[in-house]
């Protein structure tokens, strides 16, 4: 199972909106509504920000939103803030109880 | 409060095996699936496997680790374990034990502190 494809980096100015794509196949992203997104700061454990494609855990800002079209999932960060500067990873179910992470995207504000 | 406390750092020679533990507390252990995720230095996250902490302890592993990776759990000790054999330098990484939330399907809500495994001769 190959890693899902994410852009290596995305940048934006404070207040802008950015989108991070996560491209897989019909065997993972396209086949299941089980895409999650994680935010990771350097030296820290990741934090869940989106699950089941577009659900936000309690306590996560509504500036984060998720969607999916075909084999590509997307994370949108609106009202970009300096504190959003981090690495972002998607993950998807691949069938048979297995999962795969994306390659990761560094967000620069 | 939910806690996942992992065993300490390990240094192993190539070809050796490593077994890590993850002691869970603060919740009903058998109600949650547990995943192991690793991260090599300066690299991305890599999913390794999942275990049902209750029931029959069913597991699923990433294909690339099939045959040299095993997850087990001890319900009485509320602890999950992972063992990785035939280590190479490419297995040098921080290994995280994680808890799937009640929503499930890799919606991980808690992470252990991570265990650094270094493989070097």
Task: Tell whether the model's pLDDT for residue B94 goes beyond 90.
Answer: yes
Residue B70 DSSP SS3:
strand
Q: Does A95 contact chain B (CB < 8 Å)?
A: no
Which pLDDT score, from 0 to 100, does residue A50 have?
Answer: 97
Please report the residues numbered 59 through 78 in chain A whose beta carbons come closer than 8 angstroms to any beta carbon of chain B: none
**In Å, what is the CA distance from A46 to each residue of A61, A78, A96, B45, B111?**
16, 20, 24, 9, 8
Partner A contacted by B58 (CB < 8 A): yes
First to last CA, chain A: 32
- The phi, psi pair for A50, rounded to 5°, reads -145, 140
In this predicted structure, the answer to whether residue A1 has a pLDDT above a threshold of 80 is no
Which two tokens mark B1? 């409060």
Q: Which of the residues A99, A102, A104, A106 would you substitute to probe the B interface, choosing the one with the greatest number of B C-beta atoms within 10 Å?
A: A99
* Residues ≥6 apart with Cβ < 8 Å to B28: none
Q: Does A104 sit within 8 Å of B44, measured CB to CB? A: yes
Residue A89's pLDDT is: 98
Q: Mean of the pLDDT values across residues B74-85?
A: 97
Inter-chain residue contact A45 with B44, CB threshold 8 Å: no
Q: Is A102 on the interface with B (CB under 8 A)?
A: yes
The alpha carbon torsion through A53, A56, A61, A65 (nearest 10 deg) reads: 20
**Is B50 within 8 Å of A40 when comparing Cβ atoms?**
no
pLDDT value of residue B106:
87
Of A34, A46, A52, the CB nearest to B45: A46
- CB within 8 Å: B106 and A3: no
| pLDDT the model gives residue B102 | 86
Secondary structure letter of residue A51 according to DSSP: B
Residues B82/B20, Cβ–Cβ less than 8 Å? yes
Average pLDDT over residues A3-15: 97
pLDDT value at position A96?
87
Interchain contact, A1 vs B108, CB within 8 Å: no
What average pLDDT does this structure show over A82-104? Answer: 96
């Amino acid at each position: 199972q190959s890693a899902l494809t994410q852009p290596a980096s995305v940048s934006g100015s404070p207040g802008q909106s950015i989108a991070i794509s996560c491209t897989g196949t019909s065997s993972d992203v396209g086949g299941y509504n089980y895409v999650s997104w994680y935010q990771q700061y350097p030296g820290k454990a990741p934090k869940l920000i989106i699950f089941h494609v577009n659900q936000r855990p309690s306590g996560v800002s509504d500036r984060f939103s998720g969607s999916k079209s075909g084999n590509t999932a997307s994370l949108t960060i609106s009202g970009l803030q300096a504190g959003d500067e981090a690495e972002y990873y998607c993950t998807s179910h691949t069938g048979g109880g297995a999962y795969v992470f994306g390659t990761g995207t560094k967000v620069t504000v | 409060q939910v806690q996942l406390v992992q065993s300490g750092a390990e240094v192993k020679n190539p070809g050796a095996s490593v077994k890590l533990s993850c002691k869970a507390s603060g919740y009903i252990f058998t109600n949650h699936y547990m995943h192991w995720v690793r991260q090599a230095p300066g690299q991305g996250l890599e999913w390794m496997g999942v275990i049902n902490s209750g029931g029959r302890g069913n597991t699923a592993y990433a294909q690339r680790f099939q045959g040299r990776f095993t997850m087990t759990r001890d319900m009485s000790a509320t602890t999950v374990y992972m063992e990785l054999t035939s280590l190479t330098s490419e297995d040098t990484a921080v290994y995280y034990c994680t808890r799937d939330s009640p929503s499930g399907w890799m919606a991980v809500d808690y992470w252990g502190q991570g265990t650094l495994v270094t493989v070097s001769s």
